[in-house]
Structure 1
Amino acid sequence: MPEPHEHTPLDLPDGHPFGPHNLPYGVFTTPDSPTRRVGVRLGDHVLDAGAAATALGSPHTGLLTAGSLDPLLAAGRPIWSRVRAELTTWVTDPAHRDTVEPLLHPLADVRLHLPFAVADYVDFYASEHHARNLGGFFRPEAPDPLTPNWKHLPIGYHGRSGTVVVSGTDVVRPSGQRRAPGESDPVFGPSTRLDIETEVGFVVGTPSPMGRPVPLADFREHVFGLCLLNDWSARDIQGWEAQPLGPHLGKSFTTSVSAWITPLDALDTARVNPPERTHPLLPYLDDATTGPTGYDLHIAVAVNGTVVSEPPFSLMYWTAAQMLAHMTVNGASLRTGDLYGSGTVSGPTEHEYGSLIELTGNGSRPLQLPDGERTFLADGDEVTMTAWAPGPDGTRIGLGEVTGRITPAAPTG
C-alpha cells in the first residue's frame, strides 16, 4: 500500500473552482525574491511553473522560466496544449508530489503583476442590451436606440495599451473637459461621473502578418485565453469629447485586467451558441456553421463588498471570434500580447446591467448601498468583479478577479 501523506495544497476539495481542470497563468514575485516568475494558480496557492519545469526536466522550461507570459503566448497553440498537459500531470500525478509541493506559494504571500506586455488594446461594444440602454440615454429621439451599423459589425475603438494595469492597482480619478447639460461652454476638473464597464478581455498569442485577415475558424489558433476586464469610464468627459469621434480621454486613463489569464482550453465545456442573429451577416462574420463560439461566463460586480449586478456573458450578440475577424479584416496584423475587450456585458434585467450608468438610469435613480447612495463612483470606492464558468462533470471554473479602488484626482497646474 502507498504511504499515507499529510494534507497539502495539492489535496483540493472536489470541484474547487481553481482545481486542476482550470490552471490559469499569471506572473508573481515573493517577499524574498524580486524576480518575476510564471505562476499557475491551484486553489489558494501559486505553483512556480518555471521551477517545476526545471526540476522535472520539461522541454518547455525556457518558456516557463521567463519573467512574463510573452514567450509562452508567442509559442502557438500546439505548445500551449502540451504545456497545459504537463502542468496537469505535475499537479495530479502522485509521482510528482514530493517535487511539486515545495514549489507552491500561498496566494496571500505573493505579489501579482501584469502577466504579459500589452501590445495593442481594442475595446468593442458587443452587448445588444448595453447598446440599447446607452442608445436610449444618448439618442432618446431616435426610433431605434441602436445605430444603423450595429447589427452588421462589431463596433470598437482603439484604446491605450500603456494604461492597462493589473488588478489591485489604484485608479486615479481623471480630470478633463466636461460640459454640463444646458451649458454652452465646458469646464475643466475631475470627472463627476466616473463609471465601470464590466468586460471580458481576450489575449492574443500567435501573431498574424499585415495584409492577411484572420478568419473566424482561426480564432483558437491566435487567442490564448481570456480574463476579466474593467474599462473604467469618465462619462462626462466621454460625452463631451466624443463628438464626432469615439472615446479618448474618457477611457484612456486606466483599464484594469485580472492577474490570471484562463486558457481557452480550460473553457471547452463553457462554450455556447450566441443569441439568434436578426440580420444577415457578411461572409467573414457569418458563424452559422462554426459551432459554439460564445462563452457561458457568470459575472458578479461588487461595489465596496455589495454585489450590485450579475451580467451574463452568454448573451453577448457578437462573439470573440467575430471581434477578431472584424479587427483584422482590413489587413491589420495581430501581435503577441494584443488585448481586446468585449465591451460592457449587460443582460435584459436591471440586476444584469454591467455599468453604473445603466444601473442608475443615467444617474436618475441612485444605488442604495450600506455606506450610502451612489449614482457614479466616489473616491475610496472599491469595485471587484468575479466570475465563473461551467466546467467538466458539473464543476466550476473560476476566473481571476479584477479589482480597483478610486483615489482622488491628481492636482493640475
Structure 2
Amino acid sequence: MTQTDATHDPSLRSWVASANGHPDFPIQNLPLGIFSHGAHHPRAGVAIGDEILDLPAVLEAELLSGEAAQAVEATADGTLNGLMALGAGPRRALRTQLSALLAADAVPYPGLLRAAADCTMHRPARIGDYTDFFVGIHHATNTGRFFRPDNPLLPNYKYVPIGYHGRASSVRVTGAPVVRPSGQRKPASETEPSFGPCRNLDYELEMGVWIGPGNDLGEPIPVGEAASHIAGFCLLNDWSARDIQGWEYQPLGPFLAKSFLSTISPWVVTPEALAPYRIPQPPRPNGDPAPLPYLHDVADQAAGAFEIELEVTIRTATMREKGLPPHRLGLSTTRHMYWTVAQMVAHHSSNGCDLNPGDLLGTGTLSAPEASGYGSLLEVSQAGRQPVTLPSGETRRFLEDGDEIALIGHARREGFATIGFGPCLGIVEPARYNPAP
C-alpha cells in the first residue's frame, strides 16, 4: 500500500496563494486532469487551489527530470492513458517534484498557471471500458426491500462483487447536460408498455476508480497485486431511469436505463494523495461468509478501504431563482463499501478478462445505513411513496427538469490536510425525443 511521506505534511504551504486552505486542492492533493485553455489543444494539468498547473509548460521549462518528466511526456496525446499505463513509480516521482516546485519556499513560476475558471475540463482518459459494481451493501439492501421485503439481498451478494458492463461512450465530465432519456416504461398500473420520457429519473452517489497498468487476456490480477493496477479515483453519478430500468432489466440487467449518461468529476485523485486516508476494511457482520481465498488478502483487509465523505445536494430551478443554497439529500462515506477496490479489480479479472489503462470502474451507490445518508432518490423517497420536501416548498419523488444535482467528496483525517475531488454536477434538461403515440 502507498505510504505517507513529506508531500502529505499538513504544514506544507504553496506560493499559489489560493491553494492554502483550499477545500479541495491544497498542495497535499495535486490531482491530475486534462484541460484546454484558449487556443491550446487539451493537455495535462494539475489542480492547485483555484489554478491549473500546465504540465507540458512545466516540462518545456525543464523543471522536471527522470521519471517525472517521463510521466508528462506520456500525456503528449492529450490524455492520461499513457501516464496511467506507467504505474506508480513515474506518478509518484511527478508528485514529489511538483510538491517541491509548488512549495512556498520554492521559486514562483506564475507563468505556468492557468486560472481554472478560464479553462475547459475534458475526460481525463479515453475510456475503453466502463464497469459498474454494486458494492454499497446498504443501497443493495434498501432497493432489494422494494422487491423482496423478506429477503432483500440475493444469496450471491456476500460471495460475489456484483457488477455489470456499462456504456463508456456516454461518460462525461461535470457540467454536461443531463438530457432526460426516453424509453419503454410499464408501471404495474398499466397493462402494456408505452414509449416516452423517463418519469422516474434518479441520481446515484458513487466513486469512480481509474485503472492504471492492465493485464494480459487470460492472466488474472491477484488481489494482493490489485492496488498496483489502480491509477486514481473520482466522483461518479451514474444517472438512472428507474421506470425504464424496472421494465427492461429482466432477465439481463441494466441497459438503456443507465447508458444515456454517467457524470464524473474531471480530476484524478491519485492513490498517493489518498495514502493518509486509508483505513482497515470494516469487519463483516457476524454470520457473513468470509471472502473466498482469491478475494482475500491480509494487507488489503488491513488498509484497503478509505475514509472519504460523500455528499449529494439538489438545487431546483426555483431554488436558483430565489437564491436559495443547495439542499443536502444525503451524507455518506466510503466506509460502507462491502468489497474493497482491490477485490473489485481482482474479481473483474479473475476469469481472465483484460483491464486496460483508462478503464473506469464504478463502486455502485454508497448509501449509509440511516436515511440521512441514502445515495439515491429511490431510497430517499421510498420508491416515490414518500416525497421529500425542499426548502423552497417543492417536493420531489424523482428528479424534475431544471434540477441540479451535485456530488461532493472529501477525504478527512485528523493530523492531515483535507483534500477533495472537485465538482461533479449536472442539470436535468427536458427530453429531446418524444414521438407522438
TM-score past 0.5 threshold? yes
1:151 aligns with 2:193: no
Change (3 A) 1:84 1:391: farther
Q: 1: CA distance between counterparts of 2:266 and 2:246? A: 31
Aligned residue among 280, 290, 294 for 1:284: 294
Q: Name which of 99, 115, 119 aligns with 1:110.
A: 119
CA displacement 1:289-344 (0-9 Å, x = unmatched): 43211111101111112111111111211111111111000000011111000000
Change (3 A) 1:89 1:247: same
* Unmatched segments (≥5 aa) in structure 1: 1-6
1:34 CA drift (Å): 3.8
Q: Which residue of 1 aligns with 2:58?
A: 52
SS across alignment from 1:185 = coil
| 1:354 and 2:375 are equivalent in the alignment | yes
Q: 2:82 aligns with which of 50, 56, 71?
A: 71
1:259 and 2:266 aligned: yes
Aligned pair 1:220/2:242, yes or no? no
Residue 382 of structure 1: CA displacement?
Answer: 0.7
- Offset at 1:20? 1.4
Matched, 1:206 2:251: no
Q: Are 2:19 and 2:27, in contact at CA under 8 Å, matched by a contact in 1?
A: no
Q: Distance in 2 between matches of 1:296 and 1:33?
A: 40
Instruction: Report the Cα distance in structure 2 between the residues aligned to 1:122 and 1:322, rounded to whole angstroms.
Output: 14
Q: Tell me, yes or no, if structure 1 residue 9 matches structure 2 residue 55.
A: no
Aligned in 2, Cα 1:127/1:51: closer, same or farther, shift over 3 Å? same
For residues 368 and 274 of structure 1, what CA distance do their matches in structure 2 show? 35
Q: Is the 8 A contact 2:15 2:103 kept in 1?
A: no
Q: Which amino acid aligns with 1:36?
A: P
Among 253, 257, 266, the residue aligned to 1:250: 257
The TM-score normalised by the length of structure 2 is: 0.89
Residues 242-289 of structure 1, C-alpha deviation per residue, up to 9 Å, x if partnerless? 111111111011001111110011001111122212212210112344
The one-letter amino acid of 1:216's match is: V
Give the 3-state SS of the residue equivalent to 1:206 in structure 2. Answer: coil
Following superposition, the deviation at residue 84 of structure 1 comes to 1.4
Quote the residue 2:321 is aligned against. none
Checking the alignment, whether the CA contact within 8 Å between 1:38 and 1:66 is kept in structure 2 is: no
Structure 1 match to 2:173: 166
Residues 193-342 of structure 1: pairs in structure 2 closer than 5 A: 193-277=200-284, 278-290=288-300, 291-304=302-315, 305-342=326-363
**Alpha-carbon separation, structure 1, partners of 2:75 and 2:163:** 33
SS in 1 for 2:368: coil
Of stretches 256-265 and 277-286 in structure 1, the one that deviates more from structure 2 is 277-286
Q: How does 1:86-97 map to 2 (within 5 A)?
A: 86-92=97-103, 94-97=105-108
The residue that corresponds to 1:398 in the other structure is: 420
User: Match for 2:87: what amino acid?
Assistant: G
Corresponding residue SS for 1:220: helix
| Cα distance in structure 1, aligned partners of 2:174 and 2:18 | 27
Rounded Cα–Cα distance in structure 1 between residues aligned with 2:124 and 2:20 = 27
- 2:125–2:358 CA contact under 8 A, matched in 1: yes
- Match for residue 4 of structure 1? none
Structure 2 counterpart of 1:201, one-letter code: G
Name the residue aligned to 2:130: 121
Contact 2:180/2:201 (<8 A) preserved: yes
Q: CA RMSD in A?
A: 1.7
Aligned-partner Cα distance in 2 for 1:136–1:293: 29
Q: Unpaired runs of 5+ in structure 2?
A: 1-13, 316-325
- Bigger CA drift: 81-90 or 200-209? 81-90
Counterpart for residue 8 of structure 2:
none
**CA distance in 2 between partners of 1:313 and 1:289 (Å):** 18
Q: Give percent identity, aligned residues only.
A: 40
Q: For residues 77 and 319 of structure 1, do their structure 2 counterparts lie closer, same or farther at Cα, with a shift above 3 Å needed? A: same
CA distance in 2, matches of 1:287, 1:355: 31
1:216 deviates by: 1.2
Are the counterparts in 1 of residues 20 and 27 from structure 2 also a CA contact under 8 Å? no
Distance across 1 between alignment mates of 2:181 and 2:259: 9
Q: Find the partner of 1:37 among 43, 50, 62.
A: 43
What secondary structure, in the 3-state scheme, does the structure 2 residue paired with 1:217 have?
helix
Q: Shift in Å at residue 82 of structure 1?
A: 1.1
Q: Which residue identity lines up with residue 308 of structure 2 in the other structure?
A: L
SS at match of 2:405: strand
CA change 1:105–1:111 in 2 (3 A) is: same
Using the TM superposition, give the Cα deviation of residue 148 of structure 1 relative to its aligned residue in structure 2, in angstroms: 0.5
Q: How many residues of Structure 1 are paired with residues of Structure 2 in the alignment?
A: 402
- Distance in structure 2 (CA, Å) of the matches to 1:68 and 1:189: 37
